[in-house]
Structure formats: structure tokens, C-alpha cells
Amino acid sequence: MEKDCQVVGFRIGNETYGVRISSVREIVRVPEITMVPNAPDIIEGVINLRGKIIPVMDLRKRFGTSTVQPDKKNRILVVELDNKLLGLIVSSASEVLKIPPSEIESPGTVFAEGESSYVTGVGKLKGRLIILLDIARLLRQPEFKKLEEAAEPVAISR
């Protein structure tokens, strides 16, 4: 029997998204963000998280949310990609969601290759849809090269 897909659920606007729990290091409240000169619009800046400098991108802007208002529910998903930590601002982060494989549909033609190739599927859970994302593919879009260059490597613990 296949195991349930475990994802960290988060919201951007009214939509619920999910990323594999293995790609999320932690979820933190939004601290003070230091602006980075000449950064692309979706790059908010950098934060100091326990001595590590982490670049932060606003996923709400990336997904074209029209109103991006600071809110006390906003969170930063700290994700690891190629041994570097990156922060993603979301409207709110919820619980870990367990979605049975039988309840996950492939993205099919709704999400065409190219721009939204980072959508890996759509999960159905208790009457709601969760858009499943591949963080690695999402962050490998061209505008994130600068973000990746700004990230400090993660110390590999042995």
C-alpha cells in the first residue's frame, strides 16, 4: 500500500498549496526584512535567521496576487534547495496535510509545461483542492538565479 503524500499546506490569497514536507526546513513569522538593491520585484530582501542570512521571495507576488498586504498571519517557509536556505513569504501556513495517492490528480493540460511546470498535481482533501508544487522546479525559474546566488550554503551536519 502506498503511503500518503505528506505536504506542508499554505495559502496564497484564497488558494491552498502544498509542498513536500521534506523540502521545508521550518516555518517562521515574518521578521524585519532588509532590502537588497536592484533585486527583482518578487525578491523582498534578506533576513537573519539565527545567524544565517537567508534571501526571501514573496510567493504571493510570484503567483500574481493583486493585493500583497502585510498581515500577522503571514509566514516564511524556509526551504532548502541545493544545500542553500531560501525564504518564501506566504499568506499563511497551515498544518501538515496527508493526502492519499488515490486523491492526487496529475496536473494534465490545465497546467501546461513551461510557466507552471512546477505544479506536480492537484490533491483532493475533505472537499478542497490543494495545488501541489515542486519547490525545486519553482525556484529554478530564471529570476531566482540572483536569489540563489545571495543564499549562503548550509553547513552539512554529520
Query: For residue 143, is pLDDT > 70?
Result: no
Q: Which residues contact 14 (CB under 8 A, 6 or more apart)?
A: none
Which stretches of 13-155 are assigned E, i.e. beta strand? 15-20, 24-29, 43-49, 52-58, 75-81, 84-90, 92-99, 104-105, 119-125, 128-133
Query: For residue 151, is pLDDT > 70?
Result: no
Cβ neighbourhood burial of 37 (10 Å; 0-12, 13-18, 19+): exposed
CATH topology of domain 5-150: OB fold (Dihydrolipoamide Acetyltransferase, E2P) (2.40.50)
Read off the amino acid at residue 83.
N
56/71 Cα distance (integer angstroms): 16
Nearest to 77 by CA among 64, 60, 63, 65: 60
What pLDDT is recorded for position 158? Answer: 39
Task: Give bridge partners of residue 122 from the DSSP assignment.
Answer: 105, 131
What pLDDT is recorded for position 139? Answer: 78
Reported pTM:
0.82
Query: For residue 114, is pLDDT > 80?
Result: no
* Average pLDDT in the chain: 83
The residues spanned by each domain of the chain are 5-150
9-38 pLDDT, tens digit each = 999 988 899 999 999 999 999 999 999 888
What pLDDT is recorded for position 21? Answer: 93
- With contact defined as beta carbons under 8 Å apart, do 56 and 26 qualify? no
